[in-house]
Amino acid sequence: MQVDEALVRHIAHLARLRITDEEARALRGELSAILDWVAQLEEVDTDGVEPMTRVVEMRMKMREDEVTDGGYPDDIVRNAPMREDHFFVVPKVVE
């Protein structure tokens, strides 16, 4: 896919980046190369490949799902600038 300089400037604007004319020309080639590489990835046959989150299979450690109150509410709010009972007091932000 060919990227033109207008698209590079639009992307830079969205990313809130200020780029020079020279940088825009360089980025045009780099972005085109990246999009060509992505197009090559689309050609790979992934039928029958299981989705995975890691290269090496790993089992997560499991623990019992128990509801607890923590047992130390006073310690949790001890350093709060403002508190009421066991709750943090914050300024009102919605009228």
Q: Residue 63 falls within a domain, yes or no?
A: no
* Nearby residues of 32 by Cβ (< 8 Å), 6 or more positions away: 1, 2, 3
How far apart are the C-alpha atoms of 34 and 19, rounded to whole Å?
19
| Claim: this prediction has a pTM higher than 0.75 | no
Does 27 reside within a domain?
yes
Is the residue at 56 inside a domain?
A: no
**Furthest-apart CA atoms within the chain: distance in Å:** 62
**Residue range 59-72, pLDDT digits in tens:** 888 888 888 767 88
Tokens representing 44 are: 């790979």
Using one digit for the tens of pLDDT, what is the confidence trace for 19-49? 999 999 999 999 999 999 999 999 999 899 8
**95: Cα separation from own chain's centroid:** 31
Q: Which domain holds residue 29?
A: 5-42
14 DSSP assignment: H
Q: Which residue has the tokens 């972005």?
A: 31
